[in-house]
C-alpha cells in the first residue's frame, strides 16, 4: 500500500481511505517497515506557524497527595482546597497516594499494550468507526475531518449505560478484559470521591456532582503511540479538551503529554504510580466556568510504544436529563454562560468535529 504521491494531482482522500480500509492502524504501518511519515500525518505549515512555545522553565502541573483525603479535619480540608485551586488555575493535576495498587496499574498498561500488539487479523474484528458501539478499535476517530492524522491507535470501551450487567464487559477483548475491569473498579470509586471533593469545594452538597455524572457511565480509551519516524512533523494527539465531567488518565513513563497553560505548552512529566486528572468540558459548563477544561495534546517520540489509558466520566448519554450551569452557582452578578443541552446533543456535536475544535464553544449563550 502506498501513502502519498509524487504527482501534483495527489488526492489525500484516496490515502485516507486506503489507511482506513487496512484496519490495522498506525501499528500496521510500523509493522510494514514505514520509515518516512506518510503524507496524511504531516501537519499543515500554517498550523506549525501558529504553534505555542513549549515552556522552558521547570514548571509542572500540581501534584496532590490523597493520603488523608477522607479525614474530616484540616488535612482533609486542605486537600479539597488544593483540588479546587488546581481545577481553577490549571484544569489538570496529578494524584499520588491514591490507593490503587501499583500491580493493578502495571497490569492494565500491559493489557492495553498486548491488545495493540496482537495479530492484526484479530484486531480487525474490532475495527470500526461507529462511536455507538460498546467496544471498538480504530485509528483517529476524526480521520476524515482533521487536517492531519495523529500517530496513534485506540481501543475504545463505551460503558455509557448504568444497566447491570453492562454489555461492554462481555464484549471486551479477552486479552485485556480482566485487567481493564479490575482497573475500572478502582477508577469509578476514585472518580466518585473526586466529584464529592469538587462538590464540597464549590459549596454544594457532597453528592451533587456524583448525581449529575452517575459515575457508572464511563468511556475508556486505551491509546497506543508507536515510535514515530519523523515526530517533528505530526502529533500523537492534536490539541483538544475532553468531552467529560472528569478524565482520569494513567500513562507509562515515556512521556509526551503537554498541557496549555498561560499560552505555553507545559510537559506533564510522568510520576511513577500517579494518576492524572483533568476537568472536562461538561464540568466547566455546569460550574459556569468556575472550573477549567483546558487544551492538552501528545507529542510523538522516536521511542515507543507509549501507552496511556484515559477514563472519561461522562454520565449516561441516553438520559433525557438537561445539563447546564448549576443554579446554586449562578446569580444576577454571575449569569449562566451556557445554554442547556442533553448529553446526546453534546456528543452528536463532538463526533462531527475535528478533535481540535472544542464542543464547549457551541453551547455558549449568544448575547
Identify the residue whose cell numbers are 474484528: 125
Among positive and negative, which fits the CA dihedral 83, 76, 108, 221?
negative
Q: Please, is 48 exposed, middle or buried when counting C-beta atoms within 10 Å of its C-beta (0-12, 13-18, 19+)?
A: exposed
Residue 124 within any structural domain of the chain: yes
Is 118 part of a structural domain of the chain?
A: yes
Determine the pLDDT at residue 218.
86
pLDDT at position 161 = 55
Element holding 47 (H helix, E strand): helix 45-49
* Sole residue written with cell 489525500: 12
Range of the domain at 221: 12-363
Q: Give Cβ neighbours of residue 270 (< 8 Å, ≥ 6 apart).
A: 251, 252, 253, 254, 255
SS3 for 154? strand
Q: Is 293 part of any domain?
A: yes
Assess contact for 327 and 288: CB atoms under 8 A: no
The count of other CB atoms within 10 Å of the CB of residue 223 is 23
Closest CA to 187 of 105, 70, 271: 105
Confirm whether 264 is domain-assigned: yes
The pTM of the full predicted model, rounded to 2 decimals, is 0.92
Decide if 47 is inside a domain: yes
CA 104/CA 82 separation, integer angstroms: 26
* DSSP E strand boundaries for the chain: 63-65, 92-96, 135-138, 153-159, 218-225, 237-240, 246-251, 257-261, 264-267, 275-279, 296-298, 306-313
Residue 289 within a domain: yes
Contact of 265 with 55, CB cutoff 8 Å: yes
Question: Does 7 fall in a domain?
Answer: no
Our count of domains for the chain comes to 1
In a domain, 273, yes or no: yes
Q: Rounded distance, CA 14 to CA 235, Å?
A: 21
The separation between the first and the last C-alpha atoms of the chain, rounded to the nearest angstrom, is 51
CA distance 178 to 92: 29
Cβ(188)–Cβ(275) below 8 Å: no
Domain of residue 156, CATH code: 2.60.120.330
With residue 306 as reference, give the H or E element that holds it: strand 306-313
Q: Which three cell numbers stand for residue 289?
A: 466556568
Tens of pLDDT along the chain (367 residues) come to 444 444 456 789 999 999 999 999 999 999 999 999 999 999 998 888 778 888 877 789 999 999 887 767 788 899 999 999 999 999 999 999 999 999 999 999 999 999 999 999 999 999 999 988 999 999 999 999 899 999 999 999 998 655 566 777 889 999 999 999 999 999 999 999 999 999 999 999 999 999 998 777 789 999 999 999 999 999 999 999 999 999 999 999 999 999 999 999 999 999 999 999 999 999 999 999 999 999 999 999 999 999 999 999 988 888 889 999 999 999 999 999 999 999 999 999 988 888 888 889 899 987 5
- DSSP codes, 100-135: --HHHHHHHHHHHHHHHHS-HHHHHTTB---TTSSE
Instruction: Please tell me the distance from the alpha carbon of residue 197 to that of residue 81, in angstroms, as a whole number.
Output: 9
Distance CA(66)–CA(128), nearest Å, equals: 39
State how far the Cα of 164 lies from the Cα of 247, in Å rounded to an integer: 23
Packed helices 177-201 and 74-89: angle between N→C axes, nearest 10 degrees:
100
Query: Residue 129: what pLDDT?
Result: 94
- The whole-angstrom distance between residue 366's C-alpha and the CA centroid of its chain comes to 28
Are the C-beta atoms of 350 and 359 separated by less than 8 Å?
Answer: yes
Measured between alpha carbons, how far is 6 from 330 in angstroms, rounded to an integer? 58
CA distance 314 to 359: 14
Amino acid at each position: 500500500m502506498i501513502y502519498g504521491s509524487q504527482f501534483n494531482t495527489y488526492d489525500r482522500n484516496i490515502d485516507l481511505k486506503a489507511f482506513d480500509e487496512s484496519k490495522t492502524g498506525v501499528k500496521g504501518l510500523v509493522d510494514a517497515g514505514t520509515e518516512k511519515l506518510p503524507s496524511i500525518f504531516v501537519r499543515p505549515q500554517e498550523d506549525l506557524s501558529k504553534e505555542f512555545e513549549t515552556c522552558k522553565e521547570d514548571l509542572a502541573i500540581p501534584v496532590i497527595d490523597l493520603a488523608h483525603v477522607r479525614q474530616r479535619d484540616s488535612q482533609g480540608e486542605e486537600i479539597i482546597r488544593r483540588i479546587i485551586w488546581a481545577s481553577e488555575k490549571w484544569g489538570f493535576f496529578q494524584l499520588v497516594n491514591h490507593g490503587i495498587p501499583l500491580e493493578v496499574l502495571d497490569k492494565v498498561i500491559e493489557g492495553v499494550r498486548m491488545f495493540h500488539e496482537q495479530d492484526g487479523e484479530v484486531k480487525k474484528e474490532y475495527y470500526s468507526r461507529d462511536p455507538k458501539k460498546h467496544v471498538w478499535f480504530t485509528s483517529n476517530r476524526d480521520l476524515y475531518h482533521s487536517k492531519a492524522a495523529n500517530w496513534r491507535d485506540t481501543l475504545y470501551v463505551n460503558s455509557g449505560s448504568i444497566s447491570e450487567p453492562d454489555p461492554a464487559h462481555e464484549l471486551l477483548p479477552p486479552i485485556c478484559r480482566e485487567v481493564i475491569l479490575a482497573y475500572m473498579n478502582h477508577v469509578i470509586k476514585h472518580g466518585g470521591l473526586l466529584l464529592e471533593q469538587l462538590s464540597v469545594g464549590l459549596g454544594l452538597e457532597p453528592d451533587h456532582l456524583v448525581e449529575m455524572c452517575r459515575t457508572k457511565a464511563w468511556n475508556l480509551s486505551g491509546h497506543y503511540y508507536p515510535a514515530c519516524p519523523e515526530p517533528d512533523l505530526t502529533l500523537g494527539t492534536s490539541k483538544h479538551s475532553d468531552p467529560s465531567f472528569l478524565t482520569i488518565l494513567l500513562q507509562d513513563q515515556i512521556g509526551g503529554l503537554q498541557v496549555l497553560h498561560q499560552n505555553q505548552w507545559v510537559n506533564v512529566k510522568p510520576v511513577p504510580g500517579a494518576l492524572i486528572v483533568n476537568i472536562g468540558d461538561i464540568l466547566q459548563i455546569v460550574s459556569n466556568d468556575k472550573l477549567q477544561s483546558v487544551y492538552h495534546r501528545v507529542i510523538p517520540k522516536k521511542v515507543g510504544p507509549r501507552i496511556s489509558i484515559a477514563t472519561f466520566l461522562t454520565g449516561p448519554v441516553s438520559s433525557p436529563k438537561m445539563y447546564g450551569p448549576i443554579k446554586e452557582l449562578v446569580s444576577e452578578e454571575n449569569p449562566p454562560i451556557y445554554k442547556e443541552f442533553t448529553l446526546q446533543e453534546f456528543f452528536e456535536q463532538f463526533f462531527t468535529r475535528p478533535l481540535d475544535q472544542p464542543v464547549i464553544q457551541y453551547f455558549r449563550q449568544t448575547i
